[in-house]
Amino acid sequence: MSALWGRLAARAAGSTHVVLLSMLAAPFLLAAPSLLAAPSIARAEVGTQAPFTRVVIDAGHGGKDEGAIGVNGILEKNLVLDVSERLTQLLQAENLMVILTREKDRFVPLEVRTSRANDARGDLFVSIHANAAKSRKARGIETYFVSLEASDSASSLVAERENQALGRSGPAALAQDPFLALLGDMISTDHMADSNAFAKLAQAELAQVVEESSRGVKQAPFVVLMGVQMPAALIEIGFLSNKEDASSLRNKAHRQEIAEALARAVVAFGKRYDARRGLDSLAD
Ligand SMILES: [Zn+2]
């Protein structure tokens, strides 16, 4: 764990905000340069020179962090790794380079995922998760891009669950959490419109392969998306708390369909992204 995140963990364990704030500035830049240091300038320079090539795929959870547990026993961490691997193969077949934040059943801290994405200078960050809700009737696919304020209370709960890898679960409203307010300053507004555009493409493609109607594009404070210096979205590929969704997700053919839908969205996004920047796209 980096010094910064160690301190943030200490803050979570009861340190005061004053201590946190006083320790943040300089050590933060040293400890996690790829998270913060001059990202928009560096990315803008790279972005204007290179066509859309590098896709970071972030399979949620892993190792000790199992994520949601399906009503049929499926573990989110295994499910999303499988879909990530399928998506990787499809994108590589489109001549795109894929960077995986994890390749095995291994715990990878959220900030390491962010650093890996930024170090790789990804052109797009796609985080893949599966949902869970108290109501077992909730089902369907939803796509998120980052914001400090959740678009509704259900989205806030989803982000709270997905952020638990930081050890920050609890009843406190995320948007009022000073920790997240600090992280919120790192949300790159440069990429907000592109993140929204990709989220819409992904949700539209996914809506064609799921029986249940689309739950739409939403916004919420997902920590793993906050420091990412590239367009980024998080996909919840179905509810493991719902019997029908969990059953579908157990089916390989359905997982392949999801991966294919995501691959179409990535390719379409890449072409638009390049066209907008006046570049010839590498993807066919
Ligand atoms: Zn998850």
pLDDT tens per residue across span 41-87: 444 444 456 899 999 999 999 999 999 999 999 999 999 999 999 99
CA proximity to 169, closest of 12, 18, 63, 10: 12
Question: Residue 17, class by beta-carbon neighbours within 10 Å (0-12 exposed, 13-18 middle, 19+ buried)?
Answer: exposed
Q: Is 229 helix (H, G, I), strand (E, B) or coil?
A: coil
Q: Output the CA 280–ligand 1 centroid distance in Å.
A: 35
CB 8 within 8 A of CB 179: yes
Q: How many helices (H) and strands (E) does the chain have?
A: 12, 6
What average pLDDT score do residues 89-98 get?
98
Query: Which protein residues have a CB closer than 5 Å to ligand 1 (ion)?
Result: 60, 67, 129, 162
CATH 3.40.50.300 correct for 50-276: no
pLDDT at 259: 98
Ligand 1 centroid, distance to 108 Cα (angstroms): 13
Across 37-41, 141-145, 148-152, 254-258, least confident range: 37-41
This prediction's pTM: 0.80
C-alpha 190 to ligand 1 mean position (Å): 26
Tell me how far the alpha carbon of residue 237 lies from the centroid of ligand 1, in angstroms. 10
Integer Cα distance of 209 and 141 in angstroms: 10
Tens of pLDDT, residues 117-143 = 999 999 999 999 999 999 999 999 999
- One-letter amino acid of 13: A
Average of per-residue pLDDT values in the chain: 81
CA atoms within 13 A on the CB side of 56: 28
Tell me which of 8-12, 14-18, 86-90, 202-206 is least confident: 14-18
pLDDT of 27 higher than 90: no
Neighbour-count burial for 112-138, b at 16+ CB within 10 Å, e otherwise: bbbbbbbebbbbbbbbbbbbbbeeeeb
Strand order from edge to edge, sheet including 232-239: 97-100, 54-59, 124-131, 232-239, 142-146, 217-220
| pLDDT value for 7 | 39
Separation of CA 8 and ligand 1 centre (Å): 21
Q: Ligand 1: distance of its center to the CA of 275 in Å?
A: 33
152 is written with which tokens? 């509704």
What pLDDT is recorded for position 227?
Answer: 87
pLDDT of the residue at 1: 40
* 159 Cα–ligand 1 center, Å: 9
Measured from the Cβ of residue 12, the count of other Cβ atoms closer than 10 Å reads 15
pLDDT of residue 50: 86
Spell out the long-range contacts of 81-84 with Cβ–Cβ below 8 A and sequence spacing 24 or more: 81/105, 82/255, 83/59, 83/128, 83/237, 83/255, 83/258, 83/259, 83/262, 84/57, 84/58, 84/59, 84/128
pLDDT digits (tens, 9 = 90+) for 254-263: 999 999 999 9
In this structure, which amino acid lies at residue 230?
M
Whole-number Å distance between alpha carbons of 109 and 1: 8
d(CA 120, CA 87): 18
Q: What is the DSSP string of 34-49?
A: HHHSSHHHHHHHHHHH
> Binning pLDDT at 50, 70 and 90, where does residue 23 land?
very low
- Phi, psi of 265, rounded to the nearest 5 degrees: -65, -40
Tell me what pLDDT residue 176 has: 57
Q: Give the distance, in angstroms, between the CA of residue 51 and the centroid of all CA atoms in the same chain.
A: 22
**Residue 11: its pLDDT value, please?**
37
